[in-house]
Amino acid sequence: TQRYNNEIYKTANMPGVAVGLAWTYVGGDILFIETALSDGGKGELKLTGNLGNVMKESATTALSYLQSNAKKYNIEPETFNKKNIHIHIPEGATPKDGPSAGITMLTSLASAFTGRKVKSYLAMTGEITLRGQVLPVGGIKEKVLAAKRAGIREIIMCYLNEKDVNEIDAEFIKGVHFHYVKTMQHVLEIALT
C-alpha cells in the first residue's frame, strides 16, 4: 500500500483520474481510476485492469447515468456517440471486483468528459445507482486507514456509512475530512474542480 507515494500521485494530475478505495485480499488500498477518451469512436466502452463482472457493471451504470444526465453537467449529448471510452485501473496483477468503485468511476468519467480535474488528495467509495443515488458499502475502516496512509485528505461516501467512520479511533484519522452524501450530483459538486 505504500507503492503510490505522493510523488507518483502528483505526476499525473490530469482530467480523467480519480482515486477510489478498495478492500482487497491484502487489506484496504487506494485505486487510481483512469479514463481516456479518443476520437473517431462510436461510444464503445473498454474496461481494463483485471476487473470482475460486478465492477464492469458499475462502469456501465456510471456511464449510463452520465449519459442520461449529460445536460445537467454541461456535456454535449452527441459526445457519447463520437468518442471511444477507456477506463483502466492500474496494478493489473491484482484482481478487483465489487460495486464500491461505482462513484469513483462516475467521477473519473465526468472529469474526462468535462475536462475538469478531480480535486487533489480526495478519495471516495460508494455504489452507484442509475437514478443518481450513492449507496453504502463495506470495509470502511480498512479503506479509510489505507487512504490516510496514502496521504488522502478528504473522503466521500454514503451518509449511511457515517456510523462506520464513527467506530474508528479518532486519532487514526486526524486531519482527514469526510463528506457524507446521498446523490451522485453531490459527489461531482465536491470532486470536480
Residues labelled as active-site residues: 100, 143
Stretch of residues binding Ca ion (CB under 5 A), selected from 13-21, 42-50, 65-73, 174-182: 13-21
Assess 125 for contact with Ca ion (CB under 5 A). yes
| Smallest separation (angstroms) from a copy of itself to the CB of 44 | 10
Judge whether 176 and 153 are in contact, CB under 8 Å: yes
Query: Is residue 20 a contact residue for Ca ion (CB under 5 A)?
Result: yes
In this structure, the number of other CB atoms found within 10 A of the CB of residue 32 comes to 20
Q: Which of 26, 27, 38, 189 binds a copy of itself (CB under 8 A)?
A: 38
Window 47-106: residues binding a copy of itself (CB under 8 A): 48-50, 53-54, 57-58, 60-61, 64-65, 67-68, 77-78, 80-81, 86, 88, 90-93, 98-99, 102
Residues that bind a copy of itself (CB under 8 A): 3, 8, 11-12, 14, 16-17, 32, 34-40, 43, 46, 48-50, 53-54, 57-58, 60-61, 64-65, 67-68, 77-78, 80-81, 86, 88, 90-93, 98-99, 102, 127, 129-133, 135-136, 138, 160, 182-183
